[in-house]
């Protein structure tokens, strides 16, 4: 073959490669189903079938090497498991929706289509088929046990499974005002449409957040949902134009749009902010019994315990100044929802010893994690600045910790609560000297 023939052959190979790169890696004749933003919801999310979906880029070398294996797997699984592919370079919004950061990314859409699993197995057709059959077996077992999750076309999303929604409150035109308007609680309300793909993606996040928020706020922040296609009066009243729309309702204020992230962590964080903004500062309790200590520390991630000087050393004004510092810090860190306790030096000496305070250096402060039975000690000054630095370090997971002495809280003494007054020295008994003959005593001494 001459130089001109070699050049033509080389250019033909390059042209073929460029054609594939521009037009994707799969064709209509393959058993791989091409997926796009237009058909993804209908084909995958509303399907009862198990799906394996490859997110690829035509220019990606690893994707090009996977293509023949992916086609073989699709042919082997035809009629059993659906195998699809998304050109995520062309359809970046679809790739972004599922967190695709590299190519190829393979996801398994099983019983709950809103919780796709990452495929981490081999890139041969045999490995892909094995993983598909294993996932199919799990899906069938879930169906037998009644845990099936997917959505079927025509069913309202909140009737079709897909997560435990027991803590999401369903609202209607008739029940909305009675529950939400003038409620002392904060309400986060999602307006959705059953056919909306983004609503379906949000559903498990909303349900999981509802449960967590209910627990952490003691029900003071509620997550609810309104089917805006059925309850059109509410949708019209609040100007709902797209789905999902989330609005925040607080007593005495106009509703505002929630414009944060759509993951459960984003939703929980916003709910806790709303809760802390409306919540009073935590109580500052004196440790007068074992019940006070345990109920406070068991109910909070951390309990902040201060040991203040004896009342005879500071008087009421001095003690109140220390308590004021603690109250300011409790207000500053109320979003953390920690417990706050104090005791007088010497009143709970066993507790002091277990926290390494050891009977000196008052005032002192320890932050205790009762679940792990570990604590950290304030090393700086007992002042707003010193305590703030200490708590800020704890908030970001810094600072040294030590185990609570004995691995558990010691016995707590029952003491009387401080009455808010200055301390008084104990009254000594009067000694009657009227019967003493001092003259005789002097003579004896001499």
User: Is residue 16 annotated as part of the catalytic site, yes or no?
Assistant: no
Catalytic residue among 16, 196, 297, 303: 196
Bridge pairing between strands 117-118 and 169-171: unpaired
Other Cβ atoms less than 10 A from the Cβ of 174: the count is 10
Which candidate in 16, 63, 297, 303 is catalytic? 63
Do 87 and 37 form a contact (C-beta atoms < 8 A)? no
Is 297 annotated in the active site? no
Peptide bond into 363 cis (omega under 30): yes
Q: Among the options 16, 60, 297, 303, which is catalytic?
A: 60
- Is 303 an annotated catalytic residue? no
Could you tell me if 62 and 102 are in contact, meaning their C-beta atoms sit under 8 angstroms apart?
A: no
End-to-end CA distance of the chain: 141
Q: Count CA within 13 A, CB hemisphere, residue 125.
A: 12
Say which of 16, 199, 297, 303 is annotated catalytic: 199
Sign of CA dihedral 199, 205, 211, 214: negative
How many helices and strands in the chain, by DSSP H and E? Answer: 14, 16
Residue carrying structure tokens 């009762």 = 370
Q: For 186, how many CA atoms within 13 A lie in the half-sphere containing its CB?
A: 22
Q: Which of 324, 330, 333 is closest to 396 using CA atoms?
A: 333
Contact yes or no for 362/306 (Cβ under 8 A): no
Strand ranges in 57-157 using DSSP code E only, listed in sequence order = 82-87, 105-109, 117-118
Catalytic residues: 60, 63, 196, 199
């Amino acid at each position: 073959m001459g130089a001109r023939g070699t050049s033509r052959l080389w250019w033909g190979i390059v042209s073929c490669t460029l054609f594939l790169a521009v037009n994707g890696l799969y064709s209509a004749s393959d058993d791989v189903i091409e997926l796009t933003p237009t058909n993804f919801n209908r084909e995958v999310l509303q399907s009862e079938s198990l799906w394996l979906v490859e997110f690829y880029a035509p220019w990606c070398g690893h994707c090009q090497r996977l293509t023949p294996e992916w086609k073989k797997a699709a042919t082997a699984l035809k009629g059993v498991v659906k195998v699809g592919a998304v050109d995520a370079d062309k359809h970046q919004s679809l790739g972004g929706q599922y967190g695709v950061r590299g190519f190829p990314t393979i996801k398994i859409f099983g019983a709950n289509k809103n919780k796709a699993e990452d495929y981490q197995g081999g890139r041969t057709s045999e490995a892909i088929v094995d993983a598909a059959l294993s996932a199919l077996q799990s899906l069938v077992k879930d169906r037998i046990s009644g845990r099936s999750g997917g959505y079927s076309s025509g069913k309202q999303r909140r009737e079709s499974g897909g997560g435990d929604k027991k803590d999401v409150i369903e609202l209607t035109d008739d029940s909305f005002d009675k529950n939400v308007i003038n409620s002392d609680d904060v309400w986060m309300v999602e307006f959705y449409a059953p056919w909306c793909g983004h609503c379906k993606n949000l559903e498990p996040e909303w349900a999981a957040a509802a449960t967590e928020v209910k627990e952490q706020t003691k029900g003071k922040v509620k997550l609810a949902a309104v089917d805006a296609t059925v309850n059109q009066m509410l949708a019209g009243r609040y100007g709902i134009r797209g789905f999902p729309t989330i609005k925040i309702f607080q007593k005495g204020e106009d509703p505002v749009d929630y414009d944060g992230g759509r993951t459960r962590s984003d939703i929980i964080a916003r709910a806790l902010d709303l809760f802390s903004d409306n919540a009073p500062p935590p109580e500052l309790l004196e440790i007068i019994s074992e019940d006070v200590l345990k109920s406070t520390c068991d109910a909070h991630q951390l309990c902040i315990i201060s040991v203040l000087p004896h009342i005879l050393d500071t008087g009421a004004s001095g003690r109140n100044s220390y308590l004021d510092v603690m109250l300011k810090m409790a207000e500053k860190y109320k979003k953390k929802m920690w417990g706050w306790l104090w005791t007088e030096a010497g009143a709970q000496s066993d507790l002091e010893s277990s926290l390494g305070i050891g009977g000196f250096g008052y005032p002192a402060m320890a932050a205790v994690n009762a679940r792990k039975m570990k604590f950290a000690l304030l090393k700086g000054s007992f002042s707003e600045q010193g305590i703030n630095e200490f708590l800020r370090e704890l908030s970001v997971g810094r600072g040294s910790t030590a185990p609570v002495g004995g691995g558990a809280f010691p016995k707590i003494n029952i003491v009387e609560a401080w009455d808010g007054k200055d301390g008084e020295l104990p009254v000594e008994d009067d000694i009657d000297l009227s019967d003493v003959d001092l003259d005789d005593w002097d003579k004896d001494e001499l």
